[in-house]
Structure 1
Amino acid sequence: MSEPTPPTTGIDPARPFDLANPHFTANPYDAYRVARADVPVCPMTGDGPWVVTGREETAAVLTDPVRFTSRTNTHGAYGFTEACAELLADSVFYRVPPFNADPPQHARFRALVDEEFSPRALERREPAIRATAAALVAELKDEPGADLLSRFAHPLPLAVICDIIGVPAQDRETVKAWNNDWLLMQVLPLPPEEQLRCAKSVLEHEAYFRALLEERRRQPADDLASTLAAAAAQSDPVCTADDAVAALLNLLPSAHETVTHLIANTVHQLLRDRTRWEAVVADRGLIPAAVEEGLRFDTSIQGAPRLVTEDTVLGGVAIPAGAKVHAMVASVGRDPGAVEDPETFRLDRGGPAGHFAFGHGPHSCLGAQLARLESRIALETLAEALPTMELAPGFEPQYLPGGLVLHGLLALPVTWPTA
């Protein structure tokens, strides 16, 4: 059963990117569709930032680090109070993480960490990922239902990335709470008192990672923290100690929040029309296609911010130097010029992926294959253990206030028959 094209009611064509509009939070794809057709490069407000929704324009931004640098966080995502800015002045919050460096520094850093995400490393980690997924589902099976997001989609990728970094199991929820506050400061404008609370949390988070890196410098282990600590100790380091802290601060949400919401969004789409879920249960060979369609149709990462380095023209629109642009990678997957029947979630698509869910160009996602593996294992585990799973009666999806960065559910309640 195909879904009809969703209506665009609730989106003002004159202001498609109104972050205060609950319709945008629930379904940003309506805004992307309006903007792609009329203004594929447009300012979100009168003085920017600029939002880019066209496929060609998005590709142009992401493949040109000279005009569109990813070194975007030198002043914070949003303006902060003087008290908050002073508190963060000596932290690495404003430091551009090495993942976001321009070439050639970016390539040197990627070469340092690529092995942790290589096919060989993923093959080595796959049994542990499967064991974690199975253990999480085993805790649920005797219950009549659960919030699949908080009980499964959240803890699975958290365990995986913490294993890769080297964060001990007993520290993980504390580290995640700190990182939630760091993420809030990156994606949303906050009131002054919340800015201060989050800033203090960010400092605790930084202190924890500094201590972890120092411990790994003295006693190396088989983890990413040890790799970064060793690099920072070199006389001509690929990354300094501050770079290493900034890298870990950015890697945790990049590898956790994104996969959490990719899994939850994909399961939601499969269960919205239960014939899709039944097809996946009957034929596990469809699961890779389901993951890829989840990435195309309702990916968790919405946009990639860039800073314009010189006066430039994009899609026929003049953009001044110093402006921030958001290349909306999530819009590309719904572009009818690149994807047939883009507004329908389908398991029978063939050919190359019609999306930029993992970015495009030199800063394409380091953990793309890890995210695919985790999502595939998640769906395989759920299909095996909970084949009769369905959305909880009366479920009305509520969404994160993720701005132009994240799109995901606040909860995903499901039920299943129990013996």
Structure 2
Amino acid sequence: MADPYAFWRIAREQAPVFHSPRLGYWIVSRFSDVREVFQDTDTFSASISITPLKELCPAAVEELVKAEMAMGPSLVNEDPPVHTKRRQHVRNALVAPRRIEAVRPRIRELANRYIDGFIRRGHADLVADFAWEIPALVAFAVMGVPDEDVERAKEFSGRLALFTWGYPSDQDQTQLAAGMGQYWTYAKEHVQRRLTEQTDDYISELIRSWRSDGNEELFDENYLITTMMNFLFAGHETTTNATANGMRALLENSAQWDALCADPSLVPNAVEEILRYSSSVIAWRREVVKDAVIGDITIPAGSKVLAVTGSANHDESVFPLPERFDITRRNARKHFAFGNGRHLCLGAPLARVEMQIFLEELSRRLPHMRLVEDQTFSYSPNTSFRGPDHLLVEWDVRNNPVEADWT
């Protein structure tokens, strides 16, 4: 996980489709093949996309039973035709332009509040001190979590990539399951509250859609709870990791960081290049429901596929000089960081806005920031989500460009 790209380059050249006995998955690494897996939903089912790789130990199961957790299907692991019917309503509730615009001031306020907390210190961990909590707080705002519940809800939003896409120890798996059970309980309470009284938030919008004529069979209360949980998980750790990956790439390529600080108009494309160059989501899983051929390899029905989007984003046939980080790259937005096809991430517009605002405020207030030398970057050991656990930076407070940040 520290540097998977060198291995993936070899895979694309020598064995672009191969079977991993350790994982029990077929690994697909080329851009065109990954795109085929995403787009052919008749052959490659999303049903296993969020099924834990490691079977739950008895203690973990007990934690979920204790919370009466009954997590059902959601958009991420549904296939057409039910996925198609539900997606339109979930998308309209989540990414309506007015909803994204309404949350912009909240994102900027949070970014500056967290920067205020460390800017006079001269050093920070951009994960723990900045990127870890803000995406969760933004997600809570979109879902309509009241301010007085934020601290309680935040307790349950831990690192869950290891739970679903890794092989945690039984002890770690049990602790993560306990957190999921607690969040399920909170999500259930929140949905029930909104069933009684809707406001202008994501969950309320879904409820109104559900109660519209003809949609009675589309959702149920359990689906709303599951959707609320998945939105937090999908929008929290992924945006945290993408932000940390991006700041590492920018600061390791100081000329790119300097250019961004000098010209904020570069920010939107810089976000796309970050997502291509060092995506926070590097693979998705699919189940083969009928015999398939990828490249010249036959994959039998019943097999499992790991579509490595991180490798596809570095495919030389699509992205010239893919190992070069270039915030002016013309086709950077062609990346698969948000998936592709029917399962394109619905939260992508919100994630882009968050990352843009983070870069704007960090470059405005800390253009002289630099990476702490000789630090070791550690990553959660899993197949699909990638971002450093810590990102240590430092700067000379006397050079803070905003007067209020040093007086």
Is TM (by shorter chain) over 0.5?
yes
8 Å Cα contact 1:43/1:50 also seen in 2: yes
Distance 1:75 1:397, change over 3 A: closer
Q: Evaluate the alpha carbon distance shift between residue 347 and residue 375 of structure 1 in structure 2; reply closer, same or farther with a 3 A threshold.
A: same
Match of 2:119 among 141, 152, 161: 141
Over 3 Å counting, the alpha-carbon distance change for 1:288 and 1:320 in structure 2 is same
2-structure distance, mates of 1:362, 1:298: 23
**Equivalent residue for 1:410?**
389
Q: What CA distance in whole angstroms lies between the structure 2 residues aligned with 1:365 and 1:212?
A: 24
* Structure 2 residue aligned with 1:98: 75
Q: Select 1:185's aligned residue among 144, 163, 183.
A: 163
Shift of 1:42: 1.4
Specify the SS of the correspondent of 1:26. Answer: coil
- The change in CA–CA distance for 1:196 and 1:150 in structure 2 (over 3 A counts) is closer
- Matched to 2:384, the amino acid is V
Q: CA RMSD in A?
A: 2.2
Q: Kindly provide the amino acid, as one letter, of the partner of residue 167 in structure 1.
A: V
CA contact (8 A) 2:49 2:77 kept: no
**Is 1:345 equivalent to 2:345 in the alignment?**
no
CA contact (8 A) 1:232 1:238 kept: yes
Any conservation in 2 of the 1:181–1:202 contact (CA below 8 Å)? no
- Number of matched residues? 393
- CA-to-aligned-CA distance 1:341-371 (integer Å, 9 cap, x gap): 1111012312462311111111001011211
Whole-Å Cα distance in 2 between the matches of residues 131 and 170 of structure 1?
Answer: 18
Change (3 A) 1:389 1:160: same
1:130 matched to which residue of 2? Answer: 108
**Structure 1 counterpart of 2:28, one-letter code:** V
Q: How does 1:141-290 map to 2 (within 5 A)?
A: 141-180=119-158, 182-231=160-209, 236-290=216-270
1:128 Cα deviation from its structure 2 partner: 1.9
CA distance in 2, matches of 1:287, 1:75: 35
The 8 Å contact of residues 157 and 256 in structure 1, kept in 2 or not, is answered as yes
| Aligned partner letter, 1:253 | F
Q: Give the letter aligned to residue 48 of structure 1.
A: G
The 5 Å alignment of 1:320-399 reads 320-351=300-331, 353-399=333-379
Q: Deviations over 1:366-410 (max 9, x none)?
A: 011211111111000011111111112332322222x21111001
For residues 35-70 of structure 1, the C-alpha deviation after alignment (integer angstroms, 9 at most, x for no partner) is: 111111112226721211111110110001111111
**Secondary structure of the residue that 1:141 maps to in structure 2?**
coil
Quote how far apart the aligned CAs of 1:28 are. 1.4
Summarize the Cα distance change of 1:254–1:66 in structure 2 as closer, same or farther, 3 Å threshold.
same
Deviation at 1:228, TM superposition (A): 3.3
The residue type paired with residue 260 of structure 2 is: V
TM-aligned CA distance change 1:263 to 1:152, over 3 Å: same
Q: Which piece of structure 1 moves more, 76-85 or 362-371?
A: 76-85
- Displacement of 1:250 in angstroms is 1.4
CA distance in 1, matches of 2:22, 2:201: 46
- CA–CA distance in structure 1, aligned partners of residues 50 and 346 of structure 2: 22
Shift of 1:239: 1.6
Aligned to 1:113: 90
Alpha-carbon separation, structure 2, partners of 1:150 and 1:47: 31
C-alpha displacement at 1:322, in angstroms?
Answer: 2.1
Gaps of 5+ in 2: 399-407
> Which residue number in structure 1 is paired with residue 8 of structure 2?
32
The alpha carbon displacement at 1:73 in A equals 5.5
1:312 equivalent to 2:312? Answer: no
**Unaligned stretches of 5+ in structure 1?**
1-24
Partner AA of 1:44 in structure 2: S
Q: 1:323 to 1:59 in 2, by over 3 A?
A: same
Matching of residues 59-74 of structure 1 within 5 Å: 59-72=35-48
Are residues 114 and 354 of structure 1, via their aligned partners in 2, closer, same or farther at CA, if it must alter by over 3 Å? closer
Q: Give, in angstroms, the shift of residue 288 of structure 1.
A: 1.5
What are the superposed Cα offsets for residues 258-303 of structure 1, whole Å, 9 maximum, x if unpaired?
1111111111111012222111111112112211110110010011
Corresponding position of 1:21: none
Flag the 1:176–1:53 CA change in 2: closer, same or farther, 3 A.
farther
Structure 1 length as normaliser, TM-score?
A: 0.87
Equivalent in the alignment of 2:401: none
Answer yes or no: is the 8 Å Cα contact 1:181–1:201 preserved in 2. no
Q: Deviations over 1:186-242 (max 9, x none)?
A: 122223333333333322221111111001111111111223344556772322111
Please say if residues 220 and 226 of structure 1, whose CA atoms lie closer than 8 Å, have aligned partners that are also in contact: yes
Cα 1:73–1:400 change in 2 (3 A) is closer
**What TM-score do the two structures reach when normalised by structure 2?**
0.90
* The 10-residue stretch of structure 1 (222-231 or 384-393) with the greater mean CA deviation from structure 2: 222-231
Which moved further from structure 2: 45-54 or 159-168?
45-54
